[in-house]
Amino acid sequence: MIDSILQTTSGLNRKSPSDIYLTSIDTEGTLGSLNKLVLNSLDYEISDLPTKSELNKGWSYIQSSGKKSILFIVTLSEEKTSDNLRINLFNALSAIQRQISSKILWVPLLGTGAGSLNYSESLRIILDVLNSLNLSLFKPRKIYISFPSSLKENNKQILENKIQTWIRHESEKSGNRNYKTIPTDLKTESVKGKPENELKSRAYFVGGHHWNKTENQFDRFIRDGIWENGHENKFHSGVKSVQPKDIIFLKSTWSSAGKGILSLNGVGVVIKNHNDGFRLDVNWHPFTERIDLSTGSQYRGAFHRIKDKYLSGIIEGIKLKIPDIDAIINDLSTLDFKEQIHSENSIDNIPFHLDQIEIDDRLNREAIAKSLSRLLNKNIFNQNNKVDKSFMVHLQGSWGEGKSTFLNLLTKNLDQEGNQWVVVEFNAWQNQHISPPWWIFLDSMYRQVFPKMFDKYKERFRIREWFRRFFWYKSTARATSIILVTISTILLLYLLPSLLGLFDDQKSLLNNSNDIKTITETIISIGSVIGLIYGLWKFISSPFMLSNSHSAKAFLEHAIDPMKKVKKHFEALVTNVNNSGKMMAIYIDDLDRCSSGFTVELLEGIQTLFSEKKVLYVVAGDRKWISTCFENHYKDYSDIVKEPGQKLGYLFIEKAFQLSIRLPKLSGQVKKSYWDFIINIQKSENLGLVTNQDFKISQSQRSEVKAKIKEETAKRNYNNLSHLDRIQKDFKLSETEFNDIALEAYDEDSEEIKHILQDHYELIDANPRGIKRLANQYNMYRNILIAEGKRSFDINKLFRWLMIQNKYPLFADWIERNIDLLDEDFLMRDDNPEFRIYLKRDTFLDNLLFDNENKYEGKLGIEDVRQFIGY
């Protein structure tokens, strides 16, 4: 069981029973404080450190007779520490699964020294890797997650809460229900220990976190700071009655030995009620151990207010496990919604920040979200575009880089150009274990769309969905049952006299054995009775409608061409939304945490089943992860792709997505402001960033700035954007203000992209789809560079680099990985064999890089590339 495998410890004990010790290291094999401690404790010498060549693969495993083993994980290199830890830890543990089987592992919080990860981030990555590996296949005997000995108790408790939440999630996935029940039967107010006086005036509620009994929303509620009603037309009045500062417990109910149990998994204080009967914003505190009570087991529905006569018993039962529950509730009450929880760090007093999705644009990315919204509404989803096809955007970024926050900013700015949008958020990682995937995908669409529909369309939408689930998926089986029952009933009524006559004169059948009519009627009558009973049983026993993953599986097993109906269902949902006057957008987040099979099945399902309607898909995930998933899934066909600089996984990505963009990097000013916020030098409202508000200049001034930008850009024949700095200075605008206006100006002017395409027609493939993709990609990358404060780049070279990225992604990846090791002359030298491989017999790539005829502003240099990739 998972909770017996994963345990915590403090520091490194020489007498520890562990068999294998993990430690951080850099690419050079440098001696650091952590690996020095491990080496000394296990009686190794400094000379036993792995060499640079041994660490090329990102890890090294050393064994010595009579000594414990050490697994070195490269966390410090030119790549981000978080990426190094995630990729190298996963690869290392995957590679040595046999050595790890039935062994005890000691795993410290890696990458927290020179790698600069905070403890929370390191722990999250380690748990994510363990989740990806699947402990049931990984099969260690025990894993000790080790916290620094100097870590203060309150910080340690926060980290342990994270581990317990993860254990609970993994246990529920594997069906582990081995929990002990608190033997309480406290049902009256006569029990001692009522809630504290300051909490008495508040209302207390219990809210469920299971939808359709199988879909556990616990992690999503905790992560997003929300509670949502999963029912379309139930519990609305109760949810609307909740007031800020009221208290809610996350619960589920079940029975044991005929006795009802109320299980509590967390407590929260309500910060905001959206008054729609569906959503509450909540500051949550998850319990480290599930609390099971016999009091309150009657609260089986999704949402209930706790009656006074039961409240004291429930609180007293909680206090048996959590004596300081009142203090926890008081602490939650002092926080604003989504405010990060701080606690003192034992080393440098830097505040401890929970890993939550930001609401405010602290990273100055809203201008890009606005720009992408303009591009989508104006060029793709405009009223004149009658093409009824989906449009897929790939948002490239590593874990923790802010993709989810960017999606929030996109949603905020999506309603433009007369379009109104309904956004569906589908977390792939949380739903990858629900099968079949199309069911949870469609069900999530319906549940999230319904509360966002205009009121006058809601009832019609609900009825149509009920009709689809009732008739489309079960129509054949149900119709067959009805026909069988009807025919059997008619025959039985017609032949009933003959059947009764048989019982009145039992000898009649024997005396008239040659009477064929009597025998036939008797057999038909008996068959009718059997048919009536069977038909009724089939009608009653089959699911009334498609309502959960189990009924979806049953449908797949018995239906003829089931995917045709699934496709029809999706298109009908989208049509209902469109007919209400809204467009549909579907965000797929955390795809780069999913298994290869699920990733491929989901993306291919969208391409084959859900692409025939005008829907916007935004898929957030690391490109390398997604590419590798396709590579692994189709490994038997990878040799077919022999193009230089290309591989099978990237071809699938190019086929799937019409637009791929990266997240903007932080400019110096924004990075400094955000770091000040992290270390609590100043409050967020004094950061100097413009967040969630309109810019302070007037509309006439805004128009004047835009006109000046367009005029100056046209004068320079669109060749560079260096004049932007002077315009910003002349109008005395902040970086945030000016970026937003500049991007709007360029998005309104189509002359630049026409100029670029005309100048580079000799380099562009004669593929209309590829040309549109390249034009959209150029627009977005140009805007990203402007937002990053890079205004002196050459637009011709940017266009050529994007062509290289699309046609030679392996080469572009190699450049990005080695960018810090390359100088301006590396292109001309012959001592780069890895690089020369890409140029061999490829005159097209050679021309993109070197501009041999000097038509496109000369050689593409390393400093140019550094700008384009975000350095």
Query: pLDDT tens, 174-207?
Result: 544 333 333 333 232 333 333 444 566 789 999 9
d(CA 591, CA 608): 18
Sign of the Cα torsion 322, 323, 326, 330 reads negative
Phi, then psi, of 433 in degrees rounded to 5: -95, 0
pLDDT at 88 > cutoff 70: yes
Give the span between the Cα atoms of 271 and 225, in whole angstroms: 10
The dihedral built from the CA positions of residue 292, 294, 300 and 306, taken in this order, carries a sign that is negative
CA distance 658 to 667: 28
Return the structure tokens found at 425: 């958020």
Query: What are 793-814's pLDDT values in tens digits?
Result: 888 888 888 888 888 887 888 7
Structure-derived torsion over alpha carbons of residues 588, 593, 594, 595, reported in degrees to the nearest 10: 150
Angstrom distances, CA of residue 158 to CA of 116, 353, 458: 19, 11, 42
pLDDT value at residue 260: 84
DSSP reduced 3-state for 600? helix
What length is written for the chain? 871
- How many whole angstroms separate alpha carbon 220 and alpha carbon 440? 15
pLDDT digits (tens, 9 = 90+) for 478-537: 556 667 667 767 766 666 666 566 555 554 544 545 466 666 666 666 666 676 666 656
What three-state secondary structure class fits 716?
A: coil
Using the predicted structure, report yes or no on whether residue 368 has a pLDDT greater than 80: yes
Q: Is 574:468 a contact under the CB 8 Å cutoff?
A: no
Segment 247-275 shows an average pLDDT of: 87
* Res 435: pLDDT: 67
Q: What is the CA radius of gyration of the chain?
A: 32
Bond into 451 cis (ω within 30):
no
Q: Which of 114-118, 158-162, 206-210, 251-255 has the largest mean confidence?
A: 206-210
Average pLDDT, integer, range 62-73: 89
Distance of alpha carbon 451 from alpha carbon 276, whole angstroms: 8
Residue 554: Cβ within 10 Å count? 16
Which of 480-494, 597-611, 832-846 ranks highest by mean pLDDT? 597-611
DSSP structure class, residue 568: H
Least confident of 303-312, 532-541, 650-659: 532-541
AA identity, residue 663: L
What pLDDT does 251 receive?
92
Q: Token pair of 498, please?
A: 């003959």
Between CA 846 and CA 843 the distance in angstroms is: 5
pLDDT at 124 over 80: yes
Given a cut of 50, is residue 425 above it in pLDDT? yes
- Chain segment 72-83, per-residue pLDDT in tens: 999 988 778 888
> In Å, how far from its chain's centre is CA 510?
75
The predicted structure's pLDDT at residue 342 = 34
Distance CA 249, CA 240 (A): 16
Residue 180 confidence (pLDDT): 32
Candidates 340, 361, 360, 362; CA nearest to 352 is 340
Determine which of 381-395, 638-652, 773-787 has the lowest per-residue pLDDT on average.
Answer: 638-652
Average pLDDT over residues 536-546: 53
Residue-level pLDDT at 482? 67
Question: For position 829, what pLDDT does the model report?
Answer: 53
Residue 586 pLDDT exceeds 90: yes
**Predicted confidence (pLDDT) per residue in 307-360, tens digit:** 888 888 898 888 888 877 887 887 677 654 333 333 333 333 333 333 444 445
Distances (CA, A) of 547 to 175, 241, 444, 447, 692: 22, 28, 12, 12, 39
Q: What is the pLDDT of residue 472?
A: 66
Strand positions, DSSP E, 388-530: 391-396, 421-427
User: Per-residue pLDDT for 623 more than 80?
Assistant: yes
What per-residue confidence (pLDDT) applies to 502? 55
First to last CA, the chain: 45
Residue 115's region, left for phi above 0, alpha for psi from -120 to 50, else beta, is alpha
d(CA 251, CA 299): 9
Tell me the sheet residues that pair with 547. none
More confident residue, 223 or 568: 568
Mean pLDDT, residues 598-621: 88
Strand order in the sheet with 583-589: 421-427, 583-589, 615-620, 391-396, 659-662
Mean pLDDT across the stretch 633-660?
A: 76
Tell me which of 352-361, 811-820, 861-870 is least confident.
Answer: 352-361
Closest CA to 436 of 326, 557, 355, 307: 557
**Side-chain half-sphere of 512: how many Cα atoms within 13 Å?**
13
Q: Please, where are the H alpha helices in 795-870?
A: 795-807, 809-817, 833-839, 843-850, 862-868
Instruction: Kindly tell me the burial class for residue 474, based on how many C-beta atoms sit within 10 Å of its own C-beta (0-12, 13-18, 19 or more).
Output: buried
SS3 annotation, 558-574: HCCCHHHHHHHHHHHHH
Contact 143, 105 (CB under 8 A): yes
Q: 273-291 pLDDT, tens per residue?
A: 888 888 898 888 888 778 8
Q: Which letter does DSSP use for residue 794 in this model?
A: B
Question: What pLDDT shows up at residue 628?
Answer: 86
769 pLDDT higher than 80: no
pTM exceeds 0.85, yes or no? no
Percentage of the chain with pLDDT > 90?
Answer: 8
Residue-wise pLDDT for 14-63, tens only, equals 556 788 999 999 888 888 878 888 888 888 888 889 988 889 889 999 98
User: Whole-angstrom Cα distance, residue 248 to residue 57?
Assistant: 49
Angle between helices 366-375 and 735-748 (to 10 degrees): 10
The residue whose two tokens read 């016999």 is 294
Beta strands in 199-307 (DSSP E): 204-208, 210-211, 215-216, 226-228, 247-256, 259-273, 279-293, 303-305
At 531 the pLDDT is 65
Give me the pLDDT at residue 394, please: 92
What average pLDDT does range 111-133 have in this prediction? 82
